[in-house]
A and B are shown apart, each in its own frame.
Chain A
Amino acid sequence: MMNCLDFRRQVGAEPFADDALLETHRRQCPACAHYQDELRAMDGLIARSLAVPATRITRRTPQPRFALATGRPRLFAIAASIAVGLAVGLVLLVSAPRASIAREVIGHVAHEAATMAATVPITPGALAGVLDPEGTRLRPGIGDVTFAARCVYDGQVVPHLVVRTPQGTVTVLLLRHREIAEPLQIEGQGFAGVVLPAPRGSIAIVGQGLANLDGIAQQVFEAVDWGA
Chain B
Amino acid sequence: MNRGDGETDRSRRFGDLCENLRPDLLRFAFWLGRDRQLAEDVVQEAMLRAWKSFEALADEGKAKSWLLTIVRREFARSFERKRFEVADLDALVAAEAEVLAVEDDGELAAMRTALFRLDDEYREPLVLQVLMGYSTQEIATMMGLQRGAVLTRLFRARARLRRELGLGPEPAP
Chain A residues in contact with chain B, CB under 8 A?
4-5, 8-10, 12-15, 35, 38-39, 42-43, 45-52, 54, 56-58, 60, 100, 103-104, 107, 110-112, 114, 151-152, 155, 189
**List of B residues within 8 angstroms of A107 by Cβ:** 20
State the CA gap A5–B98 with chains docked (Å): 40
State the CA gap A46–B132 with chains docked (Å): 12
State the CA gap A118–B157 with chains docked (Å): 26
Interface centre among B132, B158, B168, B170 (most CB of A within 10 A): B158
Count of interface residues, chain B, beta-carbon cutoff 8 Å: 47
**List of A residues within 8 angstroms of B61 by Cβ:** 110, 189
**List of B residues within 8 angstroms of A38 by Cβ:** 167-168
Beyond the given A42-B167, A51-B131, A58-B26, could you list 14 further A-B residue pairs with CB under 8 A, ordered by the A residue number? A4-B171, A8-B170, A12-B155, A13-B155, A46-B130, A49-B108, A50-B127, A56-B99, A57-B36, A100-B20, A111-B64, A151-B133, A152-B132, A152-B133
**List of A residues within 8 angstroms of B159 by Cβ:** 12
Interchain CB contact (< 8 A) of A50 among B36, B130, B155: B130
The answer on a CB contact under 8 Å between B27 and A51 is yes
Give chain B nearest CB distance to A223 CB in angstroms.
25
In terms of DSSP, what is the predominant structure of the interface of chain B? helix
Instruction: Count A/B pairs, Cβ under 8 Å.
Output: 103
**List of A residues within 8 angstroms of B98 by Cβ:** 56
* A–B Cβ pairs within 8 angstroms, 18 of them: A4-B171, A5-B171, A9-B173, A12-B170, A12-B171, A39-B158, A42-B161, A42-B167, A48-B111, A49-B112, A54-B26, A56-B98, A57-B30, A57-B39, A60-B37, A103-B16, A114-B135, A152-B130
